[in-house]
């Protein structure tokens, strides 16, 4: 196993190296320009669509509402990366990592917009009448690249056990332990039961839970973060200055090569953690967005824009701001990950801050387990050519929740690294599909704009 982990480390260094990050952001930049900055020109329509039609029932074809599909995708996307991942980026890349995280997110909005739109365009029904879609269907039906589609599905299926299950279960158990002192095994068993009750009912059951869970946990964390930031308002200008200095110039006035290295680290860490947090370019979220009841593929793409906006521009920025304004990044330089964010909350709000962050960490991780279950199931259905293995997969998923919540830190750290590698491998075929179908995306957006203008589609 030691050889396996070392090999994974080598592959991880390649798939998350500078060339991969350039490809991820470069794809977003290319799509942004050829589509006329959709994240800007559709921003108002996106807000009206997401916030103004929460209770509106659609008669269009699909399995769940557009909002429910987005909530399920956000459940998988908003996870420990928003708390631990952001803190790690700041610890390793300095305050400038925040700026590059936001820059990558701006272009990531377009990437997610295209992923979601194409997933709806090429979706299909399985034997049970359930809509299925995602990168594998895009590659097969849109480009005839079956072999690449199979590779993507395999990477997504394997990644789901780590990033979508065991490490999240452990984060949930750890959060409950920090807040209430409950032993990990008890939390693991209860979590497995709750997970089983939700996922056994399929997509509609998952969507029903996430529609309520995601807004609640987001508001809960946002209010807590603002409570921390409010008490350090005077430090905000300094935090902003540190972030921009670290992003574009050396904050410690180091000479020559050292200054260049500091900026490079800020860029790579910021982009890598940003992509890991919002999953733009990985091709995961389209697997649930494609099930939405919607009148045009581009309309569902608007929810993809909102997903990245909420995940990175809002939640990740708040996490970073709590760390920078409280000064824990420099005063407690030995801390990283969730412990760094926890220190920012606890030093400001005391025991209440510890409880807020611990519960947020637990909720974020639990929601990720629910959302990533659907990704794993969709990948399995594609690989098996039908839904025959769904029930055994559900049982395995529940068992792995117990093992993950109960498991030791060593093996889970290795699983996290392995899942990180698999995520990077997922991105390669996904980005290939997006680039090769950029003309189709241009046609779809032009069609949507024309129908909106003519009144054929509602604004």
297-336 pLDDT, tens digit per residue, is 999 999 999 999 998 899 989 999 999 999 888 887 777 6
Indicate left, alpha or beta for 417 from its phi (over 0: left) and psi (-120 to 50: alpha): alpha
- Angle subtended by helix axes 96-121 and 297-308, to nearest 10: 160
pLDDT score, position 255: 41
Q: How far apart are CA 398 and CA 197, in angstroms?
A: 10
Determine which of 22-26, 148-152, 305-309, 316-320 has the lowest per-residue pLDDT on average. 22-26
Q: How far apart are CA 261 and CA 118, in angstroms?
A: 38
- Residue 1: CA atoms inside 13 Å, Cβ hemisphere, count? 5
Q: How far apart are CA 97 and CA 320, in angstroms?
A: 9
pLDDT score, position 260: 42
Among residues 138, 143, 144, 145, the alpha carbon closest in space to that of 123 is found at: 138
pTM to 2 decimal places: 0.89
The whole-number average pLDDT for the span 238-249 is 82
Could you read off the pLDDT of 28-51 as tens digits, one per residue?
A: 999 999 999 999 999 999 998 888
Residue 95, SS3 per DSSP:
coil
Q: How far apart are CA 431 and CA 440, in angstroms?
A: 14
Q: Is the dihedral of CA 422, 423, 428, 433 positive or negative?
A: positive
Q: How far apart are CA 283 and CA 151, in angstroms?
A: 13
The tokens for 290 are: 């494609």
The tokens for 409 are: 């830190």
CB within 8 Å of 107: residues ≥ 6 apart: 25, 28, 29, 32
Of the pLDDT bands very low, low, confident and very high (cuts 50, 70, 90), residue 290 is: very high
Among residues 210, 224, 232, the alpha carbon closest in space to that of 359 is found at: 224
pLDDT score, position 251: 47
The tokens for 133 are: 């879609």
116-147: b (≥16 Cβ within 10 Å) or e: bbbbbbbbeeeeeebbbbbbbbbbbbbbebee
- Angle subtended by helix axes 317-326 and 202-230, to nearest 10: 30
Count other C-beta atoms under 10 Å from residue 327's C-beta.
Answer: 15
- For residue 132, list its beta bridge partners: 124
* Domain spanning 2-447, CATH class: mainly alpha
The tokens for 392 are: 């055994």
Instruction: Decide: 372 and 163 in contact? Cβ < 8 Å.
Output: yes
The whole-number average pLDDT for the span 255-283 is 59
pLDDT score, position 375: 93
Indicate left, alpha or beta for 58 from its phi (over 0: left) and psi (-120 to 50: alpha): beta
- For residue 65, list its beta bridge partners: 293
């Amino acid at each position: 196993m030691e050889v396996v982990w070392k090999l994974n480390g080598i592959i991880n260094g390649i798939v998350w190296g500078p060339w991969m990050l350039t490809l991820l952001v470069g794809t977003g930049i290319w799509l942004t320009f050829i589509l006329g900055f959709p994240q800007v020109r559709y921003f108002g329509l996106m807000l009206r669509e997401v916030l103004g039609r929460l209770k509106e029932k659609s008669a269009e074809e699909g399995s769940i509402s557009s909002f429910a599909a987005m909530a399920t995708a956000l459940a998988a996307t908003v996870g420990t990366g928003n708390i631990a991942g952001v803190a790690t980026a700041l610890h390793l890349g300095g305050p400038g990592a925040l700026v590059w995280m936001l820059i990558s997110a701006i272009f990531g909005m377009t990437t997610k917009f295209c992923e979601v739109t194409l997933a709806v365009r090429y979706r299909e029904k399985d034997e049970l009448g359930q809509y299925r879609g995602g990168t594998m269907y895009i590659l097969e039906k849109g480009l005839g690249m079956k072999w690449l589609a199979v590779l993507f599905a395999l990477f997504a299926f394997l990644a789901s056990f780590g990033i979508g299950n065991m490490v999240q279960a452990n984060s949930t158990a750890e959060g409950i332990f920090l807040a209430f002192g409950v032993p990990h095994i008890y939390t693991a068993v209860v979590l497995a039961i709750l997970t089983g009750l939700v996922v056994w009912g399929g997509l509609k059951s998952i969507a029903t839970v996430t529609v309520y869970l995601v807004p609640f946990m987001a508001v809960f964390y946002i209010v807590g973060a603002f409570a921390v930031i409010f008490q350090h308002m005077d430090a905000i200008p300094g935090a902003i200055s540190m972030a921009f200095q670290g992003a574009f110039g050396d904050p410690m006035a180091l000479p020559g090569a050292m200054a260049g290295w500091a900026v490079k680290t800020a860029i790579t860490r910021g982009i890598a953690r940003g992509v890991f947090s919002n999953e733009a370019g990985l091709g995961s979220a389209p697997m649930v967005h494609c099930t939405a009841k919607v009148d045009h593929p581009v309309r569902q793409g608007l929810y993809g824009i909102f997903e990245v906006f909420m995940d990175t521009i809002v939640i990740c920025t708040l996490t970073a701001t709590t760390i920078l304004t409280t000064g824990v990044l420099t005063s407690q330089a030995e801390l990283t990950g969730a412990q760094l964010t926890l220190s920012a909350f606890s030093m400001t709000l005391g025991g209440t801050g510890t409880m807020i962050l611990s519960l947020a960490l637990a909720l974020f991780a639990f929601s990720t387990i629910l959302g990533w279950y659907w990704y794993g199931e969709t990948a399995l259905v594609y690989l098996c050519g039908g839904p025959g293995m769904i029930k055994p997969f559900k049982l395995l998923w529940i068992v792995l929740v117990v093992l993950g919540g109960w498991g030791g830190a060593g093996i889970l750290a290795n699983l996290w690294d392995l899942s990180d590698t698999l995520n990077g491998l997922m991105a390669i075929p996904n980005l290939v599909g997006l680039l090769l179908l950029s003309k189709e995306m241009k046609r779809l957006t032009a069609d949507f704009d024309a129908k909106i203008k003519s009144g054929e589609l509602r604004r």
